Amino acid sequence: MRIHREGYNSIGVVLLIVIFLLCLYFIGFKSSCLCLDIIVTLLLLTLLFFTIRFFRVPSRVVNRTADGVLSPADGTVVQINEVFEDEYFKDQRIQISIFMSPFNVHVNSYPIDGTVSYVKYHPGKHYIAKLPKASKDNEHNSVVVRNEQGVEILFRQIAGIVARRIVSYSQENDQVKQGEEMGIIKFGSRVDLFLPLNAKINVKIADKVRSQKSVMAYLPTQ
């Protein structure tokens, strides 16, 4: 396990805040109650711990599956339905939405091998990520990957009510591998997958899924 490079600044800021508040408390406001001293110290150290934990990147062996679509994120499946995808495909697609709580790993990965054919960032609102309207109205970043058979899938990083920054390393024409890191969303968010209607769905609502491991669906081979 390692700490993601996007977390260094955030962890550094939180560390400085914790040190400042501890100094302020023990020098200027220290009480005569040992229990209160312990509680204050533990609360601030817990804040630092969870900030560090949020940016963790676990070591995983990618569950490479030739015709499978791996989950691009850790989280819970909250939506599976047929929708009209109006940004890129402009036709009916199967949408699978994965909600990422602040306790999930927030690094995102490519669900299939292929070529990046489309990347677009959209500024937007910060509604609760579980809401259906978050897919279009919230700040989000859309990426399309085309495999060797010419099948394209779109996945969308969506900022939530707490998240304020989406990081994507995708660029058009990049050659990418299934399970390879493509970005991170900071502090609570969601990822949507848009698949062909003839894809065979392999998950159901409320399933817990993991990036690089869980097979979300199987794509048509022709």
Domain count, the chain: 2
Residues of the chain with pLDDT under 70: 30-31, 126-135, 161-164, 187-188, 222
In this structure, the answer to whether residues 183 and 91 fall within a common structural domain is: yes
In this structure, the answer to whether residues 80 and 186 fall within a common structural domain is: yes
pLDDT of residue 134: 65
In this structure, the answer to whether residues 98 and 160 fall within a common structural domain is: yes
From the list 135, 170, 189, 211, the catalytic residue is: 189
In this structure, the answer to whether residues 50 and 73 fall within a common structural domain is: no
Is residue 62 situated within a structural domain?
Answer: no
Is residue 49 situated within a structural domain?
Answer: yes
In this structure, the answer to whether residues 40 and 128 fall within a common structural domain is: no
In this structure, the answer to whether residues 178 and 199 fall within a common structural domain is: yes
Is residue 63 situated within a structural domain?
Answer: no
Could you say which of 57, 86, 104 is where a domain stops?
Answer: 57
In this structure, the answer to whether residues 114 and 202 fall within a common structural domain is: yes
pLDDT of residue 92: 97
96 in Cβ contact with 135 (< 8 Å): no
Per the annotation, the verdict on 189 as an active-site residue is yes
In this structure, the answer to whether residues 8 and 42 fall within a common structural domain is: yes
pLDDT of residue 78: 92
The per-residue b/e assignment along 34-63, b for 16 or more CB within 10 angstroms, e otherwise, is eeeeeebeeebeeeeeebeebbebeeeeee
Structural domain harbouring 204: 68-218
In this structure, the answer to whether residues 34 and 82 fall within a common structural domain is: no
pTM for this prediction: 0.83
Dist. CA 217–CA 104, nearest whole Å: 21
pLDDT of residue 68: 95
Could you say which of 25, 57, 89 is where a domain stops?
Answer: 57
CATH number of the domain encompassing residue 167: 2.70.70.10
